[in-house]
Structure 1
């Protein structure tokens, strides 16, 4: 297939998606391609793989070719592997950008405050050391098409992985800094990414005991959980600068003892303590899922999203993104709550994360 560029690329991807867009996009509405979906994931060199539907769905990853892994946070889809009808590679820099007009609902702290209190009580009872509630800002699209925001994934820098999935008028897209796992020839790479502050607080952030403790929960748990499948190498914790925000980041590598099915590795690692409870048990997961539902969290927020590409597997954690269904649009954000957490600080962190997303997409 020839390479795609400029407006041609955006039109190609958009019409293939079959999404009904607002604000007079007549050409898209006139196309009889309502059954076409697409998946997109960028892994290196500013270029992305795009799989075009219709997709076939399978329980297990194919042995060769290209397949996308799409599942919700609870990993409830028994056929998560999506094999595209066509695959193209392109640069996000070539894509034109569109805008949305959104009527946002006013945020209320009441629901989060109740969940925050429940988490604190559970920590006091010894059920948790840490959990990650999610708050979602809701809005209604009044003009524009969410698919046209794909071009705004470009130029974010090497610390981010662009991702997107569109299926029958629903979808999500975003720029995540969090790698779940990269597997190639028996070498697995992952990371601990936890602890957040504004970029202008970077100097003092490096000595913040609460943020360091939250990060160490994640890093130490990952190292311990992976030690049974290979030799684990943990690198030094450092501060990752992501523009308006900074995070603590610890790279982790595993030199594996043998071969393991990708489904096993995904379920072993998801959710990491950066997005899930610590300890991760059936009880603590059930409590977290209940809190997420009560706060209106999209089903795919924080879930793994990946691509198997001719023997190499790359999966990210779907944070820092937007989710939509028809005219409804959602911007979720999560925060790690430990014993030292304070409601005011966590509410502020949630807002900082959503503001960074909205600024990126100009929504």
Structure 2
């Protein structure tokens, strides 16, 4: 794999394989009928040509890629001290909106910034792309800028008429797993996401919802509910993306023009990268897999951005959310060690 390609994209699929595309990319309104294209968007879905068709495609696995590229040195970076004050202001505004009945839940994002001693891209890519299932490695590189991550969250997979998705919400340290399993606040936050996601699919077919479980990612755990159905009415990826994004795991509940505008304003004020939390997908010969672009690092030359979001509901407390944000960021840094 050429980490120094001028432009490239990749996604780890649910079957454990990794599809890598190299540029130059052709932008398109629609994916090719029988080929490969990556769906690269911002959180607000503002790119009118989100389908990026590569000039060349490779297929591999995280184990193969890790074995081939272990020689890449981890980046040497310095992270700036993170000021809690801007988040504190936004947190109070969110809670005020919740108490006013505008929201039940929303997800502001805090971004840690840093500087790398050298071009950080190769080291970040190598660390992310070798992450195994249940994480999905993803990335998009354009010259000296890009982003890469390893997300646990599948937005949805569409294979023919079969749709699979998940609700992933609620976070704790792995050592707190047993307390987490009975945490009313975390369970309530998760159920907001799961119930809302299921409700958005009710008119498309008979829903199969599995019981809530705990997904263990090593340093952290999440609540996970998987949902699947056979579509009674055919759907395109574009229609499903508009229907499902953003889920309450990353967006507001309820999702309205007003609540989305408020969330976008908070994201901008806190310096969130435009693609964080956006759908990132792969069209591969009539199958489409889309993940949620979280647990990643963004870079521009030697400047770094590491965003993380937290779901705020009425029962949330500032100190606990600040602690959760740090836990998520540290888990991302551990991918690169």
The TM-score bracket by the shorter chain reads over 0.9
Deviation of 1:107 (Å): 0.4
Detail structure 1 runs of 4+ shifted over 6 Å in the superposition. none
Please give the per-residue CA displacement for 1:195-252, whole angstroms capped at 9, x wherever unaligned: 0000000001000000000000000000001111222111100010011000000000
Could you say which residue in structure 1 is the equivalent of 2:26?
56
Please give the per-residue CA displacement for 1:146-178, whole angstroms capped at 9, x wherever unaligned: 223222225533210000100132110010000
Matches within 5 A, 1:262-341: 262-341=237-316
Deviation of 1:103 (Å): 2.1
Please give the per-residue CA displacement for 1:251-302, whole angstroms capped at 9, x wherever unaligned: 0002101212211111111000000000000000000000000000011100
Aligned residues: 332
- Higher-Rg structure is 1
Q: Take 1:46 and 1:144, find their aligned partners in 2: how far apart are those partners?
A: 29
Paired residues of 1:202 and 1:246 also in contact (CA < 8 A): yes
Q: Take 2:151 and 2:4, find their aligned partners in 1: how far apart are those partners?
A: 25
Q: Take 1:208 and 1:166, find their aligned partners in 2: how far apart are those partners?
A: 39
2:58 to 70, 77, 88: 88
Paired residues of 1:99 and 1:144 also in contact (CA < 8 A): no
2:144 to 169, 172, 175: 169
Matches within 5 A, 1:17-166: 17=6, 37-91=7-61, 92-93=65-66, 94-96=68-70, 97-166=72-141
1:345 to 315, 320, 325: 320
Q: Take 2:293 and 2:15, find their aligned partners in 1: how far apart are those partners?
A: 20
* TM value normalised by structure 2: 0.96
Q: Take 2:296 and 2:139, find their aligned partners in 1: how far apart are those partners?
A: 9
Q: Take 1:224 and 1:342, find their aligned partners in 2: how far apart are those partners?
A: 28
* TM value normalised by structure 1: 0.89
Paired residues of 1:98 and 1:144 also in contact (CA < 8 A): no
Could you say which residue in structure 1 is the equivalent of 2:166?
191
Could you say which residue in structure 2 is the equivalent of 1:238?
213
Gaps of 5+ in 1: 1-8, 18-36
Deviation of 1:185 (Å): 1.6
Stretch moving more, 146-155 or 123-132? 146-155
Paired residues of 2:299 and 2:305 also in contact (CA < 8 A): yes
**Pairwise CA RMSD:** 1.2
